[in-house]
Amino acid sequence: MHKTKWLPFLRLIAGALIIELTVCNFSAWKSLFYQNRLLYENVRTEGGEENSGGFTAPDGTLTLCLENIDKPVHDLYIACDFSETSPVSYTVSLTDEGNYYPYDLPEQVLLPSLSRSYYTCLYPAGRVKTVSVRLNIPAGSTVTVHGIGINARIPFLFSPVRLLVILGVISLLYCLTRTDCRQWQTCGKSARQRVCTVVTVLLLIGMSWALSHINPLCVAPIWPHHRQYQELAEAMTKGQFCLDAKPSEGLMNAENPYDTIYLQANGIDYLADYVYYDGKYYVYFGVVPELLLYLPMYLLTGRHMPNHIAVFLFYCGFIAAVFALCRQLVRKWFPRTPYCLYLLICILTVCCGNYLFIIARPDLYNVPIMAANMFTVAGLAFWIRGTDTASKNFRAFLLFLGSLCMALVAGCRPQMLLFSFLAIPLFWTEFVRPMRSGHRTADALCIGLPYAIVAAFIMYYNAARFGSPFDFGAAYSLTSNDMTRRSFNLHQTLLGLWHYLFRPPVVTSDFPFLQGTQITSSSYMGKLNAEYTYGGVLVGNVFLWVLFSMRRIKDSLREKKILILTVMSAVIPSVLVTVDVTFAGILQRYMTDMIWGFCFAATVLTLAWIEKAADRQKLKTLSAVLGVICLLQAAYGFGIILGNGNMGTNIQTCNPGLYFYIRALVNF
């Protein structure tokens, strides 16, 4: 009996090992049967100067030439040593039986620290006659050429990381097709489920910690404007809201100081992405992260909070809030939800591609965005829990906490305050109607008081800086365009709706398979502020496709009195699109302003479909669909993390060792 219990797990491990050793090492197995293995030690070179046993290239190009080969060539091994550890790109050029003139193959990369990158498979047209390898070496570096090998034996690459990923995938699919296992028990209060939830949350936190450190430019930013929160902490300790930096005379005398193109063209010094107003520099990013993390750390330790740690902490809070909110949804409206599907929905939410983009690029801009998402989710969780408790005091406490979290969003991303309107359908039956007759005024006070307190502080903070309690200062940012002149434009709004929500991702056959594309428009006759994106929110995140089934499940939601709540949570992001594209533009990180509303609606709809699938066979089918969605979501997130958008700050440029190591893992 004991052996039978562990037999499925042993089979899964064995299956993962077989895939790792065979499929994932297909090139290595294939190379065992290659004939005519040769290593050309004396290679003719072009464009290089011999120097102390190596070669340097004045123009940065060194070409290695092989002639009179006249053999089938299946792979190429470049045996070189480099004086530097930076990646070296190279281009292979061939002539063969089908091509008299040489033709170039796609550019490849050699990474001195990664031996697997020395091998590349070739697919010529018949017998190869000549081979030339054009190396693009860094200026001043030395290359020692040991030779070029053809038809070399590619070494096996056993990767524990890849093995665990394979094991995780097949285990997920196996568990979701087994509706008779213990994990399919209803989501309840068992100790086993609590332990499993805690372990899952800790694993997600570990993943986020790793992702927050994969981009060295975010861990140790080289741009001065990424220290704005740190500079504001220093200013606040002196009792001021303006920064110590002094604007240049040229900036103060400029006719339009917000036209940064004019400033650059005329050599006028200014601090990019700072707020300039009335002869002083300010920080327009939300003040709540400053008060929660940056200022306390500076006061207590004299050291500054790094931006990537701040994003990590807020993302951890977001993870905990998502699990808590989903648990409240299950408890209040969907008590028959299987525990394993509850876990899967939570993981799908926190691992949406747009959130992974934020945690994998934890820079200054993403601090207030992640904080606003955390407070929004936590606020909804407290509100829903408050409507589901009988204790008056405990209910008042939960409602107060929920409203406090929601109100703090104003000090992070003010536009995300629109999610506070979800209070109307959420509280209408239980609170708003009774308030008309004088009942539950205490509840109304608990809901409204936090907004009044936070609003008073934010309005004071705004008025002290910009003379108006309603001016957050974003329009005075010295950014790529004059934001004081931005206004609503229907054409621009329609472009925003397309690119933010519906634009299909550009998927390619080359690693990392998802192409970041620069947004342009040939029909918009105006200045369009846009950056690289990876597809619209609703198209790229497969989990959100369930939103298109709302019409078929609306009766179930109406019975539970949450139809309007679900519809509003999906409509508010569309309004946020208009706000963001009008006042800022089309940027990948701004998609995280709106994605939470869609995720919340998708979660409610998925839970409703799970409850509707009463018999075990339908539940099994639905779980299999969720498993496929989970894998597609993982693939999309993988592409976003390693995507090539913005070449100056992506992983390929900033962490080439990790990038090409992962590429080697998926190059079978």
CA distance 364 to 370: 11
CB-count exposure of residue 71 (10 Å: 0-12, 13-18, 19+): middle
Q: Tell me whether strands 75-82 and 506-507 are parallel, antiparallel or unpaired.
A: unpaired
Domain boundary among 150, 166, 186: 150
Q: Can you tell me the distance from the alpha carbon of 583 to that of 334, in angstroms, rounded to the nearest whole number?
A: 39
Residue 138 has a pLDDT of: 77
Cα–Cα nearest to 595, from 547, 635, 649, 529 = 547
User: What is the Cα–Cα distance from 213 to 658, expressed in whole angstroms?
Assistant: 11
My answer on whether 96 and 188 are in the same domain is: no
Q: Can you say whether the dihedral through the CA atoms of 197, 199, 203, 206 is positive or negative?
A: positive
Contact 503, 560 (CB under 8 A): no
Type of residue numbered 474: A
CB atoms closer than 10 angstroms to residue 472: 21
The three-state (H, E, C) secondary structure of 4-66, written as one string: HHHHHHHHHHHHHHHHHHCHHHHHHHHHCCCCCCEEECCCEEECCEEECCEEECCCCEEEEEE
Judged on CB neighbours under 10 Å (0-12, 13-18, 19+), 205 is middle
Cα 61 from Cα 44, distance rounded (Å)? 14
Q: Which of 150, 167, 193 is the last residue of a domain?
A: 150
Whether residues 644 and 538 share a domain: the answer is: yes
209 shares a domain with 124:
no
Strand-strand pairing, 49-51 and 44-46: unpaired
Residues 182 and 42 in one domain: no
* C-alpha angle 202-205-210 in degrees, rounded to nearest 5: 130
Specify if 513 maps to a domain: yes
Q: Within this chain, do residues 516 and 577 fall inside the same structural domain, yes or no?
A: yes
User: Quick one: pLDDT at residue 1?
Assistant: 44
Residues 70 and 111 in one domain: yes
- Take residue 235 and report the two structure tokens written for it: 């200013």
Which of 112, 131, 150 delimits the end of a domain?
A: 150
Phi, psi values for residue 438, rounded to 5°? 95, -5
- 194 with 131, same domain: the answer is no
100 neighbors 112 (Cβ within 8 angstroms): no
Cis geometry, peptide bond prior to residue 512 (ω within 30 degrees of 0): yes
The verdict on 200 and 138 lying in the same domain is: no
Report which DSSP code applies to 92: E
Q: Which CATH number covers residue 107?
A: 2.60.120.260
Q: Answer whether residue 276 is part of any domain.
A: no
Mean pLDDT of the chain: 87
Structural domain boundaries enclosing 542: 177-217+306-471+480-666
Alpha-carbon distance of 354 to 534, in angstroms, equals 9
Matching residue, tokens 């091998």: 119
First and final CA of the chain: distance in angstroms? 39
Tokens of 553: 């499940």
What residues contact residue 515 under an 8 Å CB cut-off, 6+ apart? 505, 506, 507, 508, 534, 643, 644
Nearest partner of 602 among 535, 534, 541, judged by Cα: 541
Measured distance CA(54)–CA(596) in Å, rounded: 56
In a domain, residue 510? The reply is yes
| Surface-to-core class of residue 53, CB atoms within 10 Å of its CB (0-12 exposed, 13-18 middle, 19+ buried) | exposed
At residue 178, the pLDDT reads 66
Q: Are residues 141 and 186 in the same domain?
A: no
Residues 6+ apart with CB under 8 A from 175: 181, 183, 340
Query: Do 562 and 485 lie in a common domain?
Result: yes
Considering the domain boundaries, does residue 319 fall inside one?
A: yes
DSSP codes joined into one string, 539-559: HH-GGGGGGGGHHHHHHHHHH
**Number of domains the chain is built from:** 2
C-alpha span between 402 and 378 (Å, rounded): 7
**Strand pairing partners for 78?**
148
- Kindly state the tokens that stand for 607: 């839970």
For the chain, give me the number of helices (H) and strands (E)? 26, 18
Q: Residue 232: inside a domain, yes or no?
A: no
Q: In the chain, which residues have pLDDT < 50?
A: 1, 181-182, 437
Question: Does 257 map to a domain?
Answer: no
Residue 238's Cβ-count burial label (10 Å; 0-12, 13-18, 19+) is: exposed
Handedness of CA 274, 275, 277, 282 (dihedral sign): negative
Q: Could you tell me if residue 27 is inside a domain?
A: no
Q: Are 497 and 574 in contact (CB under 8 A)?
A: yes
Determine, yes or no, domain membership for 244: no
Residues 128 and 213 in one domain: no
Q: Examine the domain organization and report whether 428 and 519 are in the same domain.
A: yes
